[in-house]
């Protein structure tokens, strides 16, 4: 029997990420350096280089759960409807600038156990950083969100479930144990004689380095014993501590982990998505005629490494950026020029609109609850969007769609829970 997608889960903390359409690592082939020498026609060796893997996930989930997770919100527990940020009040914002390192446990359920969801194997993706976010909306399409994360390692276990443990620092405690027995990994491959059992140790969003920031003792082959993480310095009071591992203890993730569709819809169509612009201290005005809307956010950075460890020790963030496009099919000339007024701030119809626009506006994309359109599930907020006037891509026998591209002046965007 093949491994089906219905048996593969991905967790944000210990809560299943909802509505995933596709997810996984991309090209994981390690770059290889071929070593040769003078006086020898044969290859001496082939040395693996340092990787930078990419994990990509597309979801129909229009809640703020994923952004809350990426920005460090406390997750809920397995089997509950309490994902990251569940206790945050409406109006809470999650800023692209605040993204952090995360671990992605991926338990694999036994397909023969049905809704019991007994985990029989798993995949662990530790210490990855968000590098790209894309949201797409269309008139007759489901809203989709794609997140791309980058990191330098991944692991499999055929008799263990991947988990992530959470602890809070108190300013004095240095020692933290895994909640369940931890299975060992042989460093360096089959010939290795040293082991590790804990991966992706993160404190307040910062990836920690083994044998520098912490040490690990304990953990054994299946069936295992618990592992002990000892920090060099005690994490601060209230610090959020996360680490991941594989356990030999039985784990289950039943179908009921998914939140009620009354609260979280299966998908949201274009009819429940609206876009508004606020300019010059005025009230928000809805933008008409939108056919598609796209939001893109990126992180420009590079991997940090150091001598003495195979792991990535962090990621330098050189800068962020955020932009997007509203594609508008104006019903007539007046509707088209009304959009130009909204984005440029001009109200005098006796003036000419030019190719140049330096006016900042607040752009909001409202995602409504299909069962109660008067209530917002989420708002995507650009506080300083600057639009470019569009070209005129006319085609025979077709309505003209105008692409209004915009940039965030500060290079970021926010997701707001609710309105």
- Domain ranges across the chain: 5-28+49-257, 270-417
Residue range 203-213: mean pLDDT, rounded: 94
CA distance 128 to 126: 6
Bin 293: left if φ > 0, else alpha if -120 < ψ < 50, else beta.
beta
DSSP SS3 for 182: strand
73 touches 88 (CB < 8 A): yes
Residue range 298-322: mean pLDDT, rounded: 88
| pLDDT digits 0-9 by tens, 334-354 | 999 999 999 998 877 778 888
- The closest alpha carbon to 23, from 109, 129, 145, 197, belongs to 145
Q: What is the pLDDT of residue 381?
A: 97
What percentage of the chain reaches a pLDDT higher than 70?
94
Q: What is the CATH number of domain 270-417?
A: 2.30.110
Residue range 152-166: mean pLDDT, rounded: 91
| pLDDT digits 0-9 by tens, 223-272 | 568 999 999 999 999 999 999 999 988 888 766 555 556 568 889 999 99
Q: What is the pLDDT of residue 312?
A: 84
What is the 8-class DSSP label of residue 259? P
Whether residue 416 has pLDDT greater than 70: yes
Most confident of 69-78, 121-130, 261-270: 121-130
Q: What is the pLDDT of residue 75?
A: 67
CA distance 91 to 34: 55
Residue range 169-187: mean pLDDT, rounded: 93
pTM: 0.91
Length of the chain as a residue count: 419
Token pair, residue 39, equals 């006086």
Token pair, residue 373, equals 């359109």
Q: Environment class of residue 131 by beta-carbon count within 10 Å: exposed (0-12), middle (13-18) or buried (19+)?
A: buried
Q: What is the pLDDT of residue 79?
A: 44
Whether residue 170 has pLDDT greater than 50: yes
pLDDT confidence bin for 69, thresholds 50/70/90:
very high
Average pLDDT over the chain, rounded to an integer: 89
Whether residue 192 has pLDDT greater than 90: no
| H-helix segments, 272-365 | 333-344
Residue range 357-367: mean pLDDT, rounded: 95
252 vs 153, which has greater pLDDT?
Answer: 153
DSSP SS3 for 227: strand
Residue range 383-409: mean pLDDT, rounded: 91
Residue range 275-285: mean pLDDT, rounded: 89
156 touches 239 (CB < 8 A): no
Q: What is the pLDDT of residue 29?
A: 84
CA distance 135 to 143: 7
CA-to-CA separations, 190 to 37, 175, 256, 310, in angstroms, rounded: 27, 30, 39, 16
Q: What is the pLDDT of residue 78?
A: 44
Q: How many CB atoms lie within 10 A of CB 162?
A: 29
DSSP SS3 for 28: coil
386 touches 409 (CB < 8 A): yes
**Residue 108, C-beta contacts closer than 8 angstroms, at least 6 positions apart:** 3, 7, 8, 9, 119, 120, 121, 122, 123
**For residue 319, how far is the Cα from the chain centroid?**
17
197 touches 155 (CB < 8 A): no
103 vs 304, which has greater pLDDT?
Answer: 103
Q: What is the pLDDT of residue 419?
A: 77
pLDDT confidence bin for 5, thresholds 50/70/90:
confident
pLDDT confidence bin for 163, thresholds 50/70/90:
very high
């Amino acid at each position: 029997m093949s491994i089906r997608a219905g048996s593969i889960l991905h967790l944000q903390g210990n809560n299943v990420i909802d509505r995933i359409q596709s997810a996984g690592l991309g090209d994981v082939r390690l770059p290889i350096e071929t070593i040769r020498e003078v006086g020898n026609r044969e290859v001496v060796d082939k040395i693996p280089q340092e990787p930078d893997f990419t994990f990509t996930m597309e979801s129909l989930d229009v809640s703020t759960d994923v952004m809350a997770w990426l920005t460090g919100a406390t997750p809920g527990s397995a089997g509950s409807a309490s994902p990251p940020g569940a206790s945050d009040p409406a109006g809470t914002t999650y800023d692209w600038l605040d993204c952090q390192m995360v671990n992605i446990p991926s338990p694999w359920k036994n397909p023969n156990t049905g809704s019991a969801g007994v985990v029989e194997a798993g995949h662990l993706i530790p210490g990855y950083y968000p590098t790209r976010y894309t949201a797409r909306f269309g008139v007759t399409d489901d809203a989709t969100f794609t997140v791309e994360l980058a990191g330098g390692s991944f692991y499999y276990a055929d008799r263990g479930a991947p988990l992530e443990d959470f602890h809070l620092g108190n300013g004095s405690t240095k020692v933290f144990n895994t909640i369940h027995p931890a299975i060992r990994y042989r460093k360096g491959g089959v010939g290795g004689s040293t082991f590790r059992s804990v991966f992706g140790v993160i404190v307040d969003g910062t990836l920690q380095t083994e044998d520098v920031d912490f040490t690990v003792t304990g953990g054994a082959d299946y069936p295992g014993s618990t592992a002990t993480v000892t920090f060099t310095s005690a994490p601060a009071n209230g610090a959020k501590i996360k680490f991941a591992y594989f356990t030999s203890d039985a784990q289950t993730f039943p179908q009921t982990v998914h939140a009620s569709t009354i609260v979280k819809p299966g998908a949201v169509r274009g009819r429940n998505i609206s876009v508004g612009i606020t300019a010059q201290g005025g009230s928000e005005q809805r933008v008409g005629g939108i056919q598609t809307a796209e939001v893109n956010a990126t992180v420009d950075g590079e991997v940090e490494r150091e001598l003495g460890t195979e792991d990535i020790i962090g990621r330098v963030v050189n800068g962020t950026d955020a932009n997007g496009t509203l594609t508008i099919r104006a019903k007539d000339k007046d509707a088209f020029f009304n959009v130009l007024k909204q984005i440029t701030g001009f109200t005098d119809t006796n003036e000419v609109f030019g190719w140049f626009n330096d006016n900042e506006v607040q752009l909001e994309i409202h995602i409504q609850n299909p069962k109660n359109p008067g209530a917002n599930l989420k708002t995507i907020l650009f506080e300083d969007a600057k639009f470019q006037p569009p070209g005129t891509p006319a085609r025979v026998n077709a309505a003209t769609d105008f692409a209004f591209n915009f940039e965030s002046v500060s290079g970021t965007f926010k997701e707001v829970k609710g309105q």
